């Protein structure tokens, strides 16, 4: 799969958002290129999660604009964003333990068959499509009939990533995708993230793991105190410079 988008997939322009007296975002400007992994880094409270919630339809900016795929967006909910092709893999993964892998993949997207208003769940079609999704993308997920409760942390993360990438998504947002994983499972999830990019899915990565950011990303944006203070091509910077930009010991 290759993308035909020539401009930014996301273009954030002078976005600001306050909660009472707290200025969570202040005139934030950044872009995400198609076909790339873009990382946003910063200390806790820097505004990373708030910005992601604006992009994914949870919050609405009080000023400024967000353009997605060339058009200004006014998402009213995460469902609006999902319908346009923005999928988010949250830190808590939002999986249902007592459902199978295929049931989680199609949660709130169930396929049905029938005539007119009389519809039935098409379990066979969902299992077959889930098999294709997992075999195409995932590197470490067991049979789609397995209960999620029995999966390891890395396998759960893979299921969540498959769900995000499996429905023609134009952008996959990943919030700390390996925060609770060990070294081996982290490596497998990173392999999966690279495969997402190689399949043509631009990825927005939020991570406190600077070595991971340097390994995976093509572009890094640095946030501090609600502002986007710098942007760097990953090949043109170092982990030490990123840390200095985050702490403010070095300015853009």
Tens-place pLDDT, residues 13-55 = 999 999 999 999 999 999 999 999 999 999 999 999 999 999 9
Q: Is the predicted pLDDT of residue 6 greater than 70, yes or no?
A: no
Structural domain that includes position 43: 10-94+169-247
- Domain assignment present for 63: yes
Lowest mean pLDDT among 58-62, 116-120, 214-218: 116-120
Domain CATH for 213? 3.40.50.300
Domain count, the chain: 1
Q: What is the DSSP letter of 157?
A: H
- Domain assignment present for 44: yes
Q: What is the pTM of this model?
A: 0.84
Which has more pLDDT, 169 or 104? Answer: 104
Torsion of CA 78, 82, 84, 89, to 10 degrees: 100
Query: Sorting pLDDT into bands at 50, 70 and 90, what band is 188?
Result: confident
Q: What is the mean pLDDT of the chain?
A: 89
- Domain assignment present for 182: yes
Q: How far is CA 233 from the centre of its chain?
A: 19
How many residues are given for the chain? Answer: 252
Residue-level pLDDT at 138? 67
- Domain assignment present for 173: yes
Q: How far is CA 82 from the centre of its chain?
A: 11
From the CB of residue 28, how many other CB atoms can be counted at a distance below 10 Å? 25
**Cα separation of 198 and 193, whole Å?**
9
Using one digit for the tens of pLDDT, what is the confidence trace for 127-184? 999 998 888 776 667 789 999 999 988 888 888 888 888 776 799 999 888 887 888 8
Residue-level pLDDT at 149? 93
Instruction: Report the SS3 class of residue 252.
Output: coil
Q: What is the DSSP letter of 247?
A: H
| Alpha-carbon dihedral sign for residues 94, 32, 45, 214 | positive
């Amino acid at each position: 799969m290759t993308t035909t988008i020539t401009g930014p997939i996301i273009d954030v322009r002078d976005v600001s958002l306050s909660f009472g007296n707290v200025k969570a975002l202040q005139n934030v400007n950044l872009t995400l290129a198609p076909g790339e992994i873009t990382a946003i880094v910063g200390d806790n409270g820097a505004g990373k999660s708030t910005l992601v919630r604006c992009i994914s339809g949870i919050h609405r900016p009080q000023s400024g604009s967000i353009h997605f795929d060339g058009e200004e967006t006014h998402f009213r909910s995460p469902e609006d964003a999902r319908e346009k092709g923005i999928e988010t893999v949250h830190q808590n993964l939002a999986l249902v333990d007592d459902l199978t892998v295929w049931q989680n993949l199609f949660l709130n997207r169930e396929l049905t068959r029938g005539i007119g208003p009389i519809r039935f769940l098409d379990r066979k079609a969902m299992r077959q499509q889930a098999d294709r999704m997992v075999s195409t993308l995932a590197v470490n997920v067991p049979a789609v009939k397995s209960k999620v409760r029995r999966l390891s942390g890395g396998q759960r993360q893979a299921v969540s990533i498959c769900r995000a990438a499996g429905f023609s998504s134009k952008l996959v947002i990943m919030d700390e995708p390996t925060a609770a994983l060990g070294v081996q499972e982290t490596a497998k999830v990173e392999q999966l993230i690279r495969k997402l990019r190689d399949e043509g899915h631009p990825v927005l990565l939020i991570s406190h793991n600077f070595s991971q950011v340097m390994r995976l990303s093509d572009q890094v944006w640095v946030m501090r105190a609600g502002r986007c203070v710098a942007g760097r091509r990953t090949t043109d910077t170092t982990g030490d410079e990123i840390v200095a930009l985050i702490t403010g010991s070095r300015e853009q």
